Chain A
Amino acid sequence: MHGITSSRTVWYRRLSIGLALAVFFFALALPFALAVLWSLVDPAHPWAYPAVLPPVLSLRRWLEVWTTSALPQALYNSYMLAACVSIATLLLASSAAYALGRMEFVGKSIIHLLTLVPLIIPNFISAIFFSALLIELDVYSRFLGVLIGHTVSLLPYAIRLMTVSFAMVRQDLIDAARDLGASPLTVFRTAYLPVIKPGLLAALIIVFILSIEEFAISYIVGAPDFITVPTILYSYLGYNFIRPNAAAVSLILVVPNVVLMLIAERLLRSADPAIVTGKG
């Protein structure tokens, strides 16, 4: 009887996994495969109904997008901005994360909630009225505006990730280093850094990715001079829907970010104090 039940469970699981794989294929793998195909459609041989597959594949569309659009500038802007935002965010978040992760004080839970406020205000409200504020303050630098907007709206992520890392540092290790006469710098280097490093790098990468992906502030505050990859993609999806170009830009936006996110996830998984300190 038990044998029948367990074999039924195994079949049921296999069936469920098969179903999940089928859903994944139709919901993600196939749409991405189609985007790759569309980005490879040769401009001289359009892919039109009822053709099931594109008649000719080539890299000419990629070259065309690269040479005739503002994509190189948008890529430079996006990556330059993201680097500045991640450094600024980390600098601002570190001490707050230390306080939240390692200290007890009155109102800690309320402050935890306050750090999450940027996440509950709709992005386009922040973007429009931040741009109104910049006009009121006579600040006309698009880069500065987008930099401030991204930094503040991504601070919650950095604070949260680094708070968890700081909370994982073992007090006995800090005490041991202090008892042995280590200076504050040495205590930081030996007790804190090995534990917080993965979380710190993950926060850096996640903020970097989120800044590249941010659309509302870049679109409203950055317009019309400061173009980023999502704003270029939006222009291809609007009234002049250029499908092959949109496919190429979509892949440029997604693929590097997925690779970076996988690295971040690996770093976060390795952020176990038992691994870093060798203690269980």
Chain B
Amino acid sequence: MTNNQTLKAYLLLLPGLLPIIAFMSLVVGMAVSQSIGFFNFSGADQFSIQSWREILSQDQFWRAFLYSARTATLSAILSVLLAYPIALWLRRPFPGSDLISAMIKAPILVHGLVAAFLFVNFISFQGFLNVALVNLGFTASPMRMQNDTYAIGVVILQVWKNMPFAFLIIVGSVRAIGDDILDAARGLGAGWLARLRRIILPLTLRSLQAALVLIFIVAAGDYSFQAVAGPTSVNSLAQFMVRTQADNGANGWNEAAVVAVMLMGLSLFGSLIVAGLTQLAVRRMRR
């Protein structure tokens, strides 16, 4: 590897990499700067933590923060918990396994807003589920399930949409585990639970963590599912950020920037905590 070749590689990387680095640093830089009073659309550009004080003293913000943290954690854990046994089941191909794989991956092709519409349409007051429940005699009249207070609908949608991603990430690492290792463990008397705890889980830990981190970030930044199917009494952080920017005039930019920085913090630290706790749990199980 000569210096010349390295320089050539870097020059070739520029057209693709430069727009990404420039765009993302400008966008993140803009959010951070606006949160501390710079690029101010409503007054002089000067350092100020007024917007931070304003946002952090609002109950609505903290409700949105905890709501996003909770739904993201639940969605990530449930998606992985569902995807993992399916990935183990489909580890070795068998007649029909390709069909099942294709069916699991199908939700990836469905747009988030369309998924939210299909779900709302299914559970709405005069939707299929209510008509079926009434006609089968389970309930006397239709129930109100849409925009439920506990955000069960949002979590179902997140799991529905993100479980295929978790499956795709995990199935590769599960398939990569050699039969010889598992056969050796079986030969030494390890039952299926011991093999799962001491071999399969530790060897697939990285992909488990990758799936958890990815889904946590996507779910924490959710806007569409929350806006269409989420509870009306609370906002997600992304929804609160959009609302803050739109409703508060020129000041809205600075306050929305504070929410954006907190959302990025939640995505980064929340996903790292979830991944770290998973590592801890897998290590404990291994003992």
Using known A-B contacts A121-B24, A124-B242, A155-B16, determine if residue A254 contacts B111 with beta carbons closer than 8 Å.
Answer: yes
Are A35 and B118 in contact (CB-based, < 8 A)?
yes
- B134, CB-defined interface residue at 8 Å: yes
Chain B positions 33-91 with a Cβ under 8 Å from a chain A Cβ: 34, 39, 41, 89
- The segment from A65-73, A126-134, A175-183, A194-202 that touches chain B is A126-134
Cβ-defined contact, B128 with A254, below 8 A:
no
Asked if A97 lies at the interface with its beta carbon under 8 angstroms from chain B, I say yes
B234 within 8 A of A: no
B28 CB to closest chain A CB (Å) equals 7
Cβ–Cβ < 8 Å partners of A93 in chain B = 15-16
Known interface pairs A118-B20, A220-B242; A20-B100 also in contact (CB < 8 Å): yes
CA of A35 to CA of B124 in the docked complex: distance in angstroms? 13
Chain A nearest CB: distance from B253 CB in Å? 6
Min CB distance, A130 to chain B, in Å? 5
Most chain-A CB neighbours within 10 Å: which of B27, B94, B107?
B27
B25 (CB) vs chain A CBs: closest residue: A117
How many Å lie between the Cα of A26 and that of B44 in the bound state? 57
A253 to chain B, nearest CB (A): 6
Q: Which residue of A lies closest to B218 (CB)?
A: A122
B24 touches which of A96, A104, A117, A124 (Cβ 8 Å) = A117
Residue A95, interface by CB 8 Å: yes
- Cα(A259)–Cα(B252), bound, Å: 42
B280 at the binding interface (Cβ < 8 Å): no
Q: Is the interface of B mostly helix, strand, loop or mixed?
A: helix
Whether A31 lies near B118 (C-beta < 8 A) is yes
Q: Name A9-66 residues within 8 Å CB distance of B.
A: 13, 16-17, 20-21, 23-24, 27-28, 30-32, 34-35, 38, 47-50, 52
Contacts A99-B9, A105-B10; A133 near B117 (Cβ below 8 A): no
Q: Is B13 part of the contact surface with A, judged by Cβ < 8 Å?
A: yes
Main secondary structure of the interface of A (DSSP, over half): helix
Residues of A contacting B99 in the complex (Cβ-Cβ under 8 angstroms): 17
Interface size on B, residues (CB 8 A): 77
Give the number of residues in A that approach B within 8 Å (Cβ atoms). 78
Does chain B have a CB within 8 A of A261?
Answer: yes
**Chain A contacts for B113, CB-based, 8 A:** 215, 230, 233-234, 237, 250, 253
B26 beta carbon closer than 8 Å to chain A = yes
Pair B263/A38 contact, Cβ less than 8 Å: no
A205 CB–B CB distance under 8 Å: no
> A215 CA to B14 CA in the complex, in Å?
28
For A25, give the chain B residue with the smallest CB separation: B103
Once bound together, how far apart are the Cα atoms of A175 and B106, in whole Å? Answer: 42
> CB-CB < 8 A to B176: which residues of A?
none
Q: Report the Cα distance A121→B134, complex, angstroms.
A: 44
Q: Are the CB atoms of B125 and A133 closer together than 8 Å? A: no
Compute how far the CA of A10 lies from the CA of B111 in the bound complex, rounded to whole angstroms: 36
Q: Shortest distance in angstroms between A171's beta carbon and chain B's nearest beta carbon? A: 15
A-B pair number, CB within 8 angstroms: 219
Q: B2 CB to closest chain A CB, in angstroms?
A: 10
B27 touches A124 (CB 8 A): no
Q: Assess the A105–B5 pair: CB atoms within 8 A.
A: yes
Q: Which of B191-199, B200-208, B221-229 contacts A (4 or more CB under 8 A)?
A: B221-229
- Chain A positions within 8 Å of B, measured between CB atoms, are 13, 16-17, 20-21, 23-24, 27-28, 30-32, 34-35, 38, 47-50, 52, 91-100, 103-106, 111, 114-115, 117-118, 120-126, 128-130, 132-133, 135-136, 148, 151-152, 155-156, 159, 213, 215-216, 220, 230, 233-234, 237-238, 241, 243, 246-247, 250, 253-254, 257-258, 261
Other CB < 8 Å A-B pairs besides A128-B256, A155-B19, 16 of them?
A: A13-B94, A23-B103, A34-B127, A52-B135, A95-B12, A98-B12, A99-B9, A100-B13, A106-B6, A122-B217, A124-B238, A125-B264, A128-B245, A152-B19, A257-B111, A258-B109
B residues at A contact (CB < 8 Å):
1, 5-6, 8-10, 12-17, 19-21, 23-24, 26-28, 30-31, 34, 39, 41, 89, 94-96, 99-100, 103-104, 106-107, 109-114, 116-122, 124-128, 130-131, 134-135, 142, 160, 217, 220-221, 223-224, 227-228, 238, 241-242, 245, 253, 256-257, 260, 263-264, 267
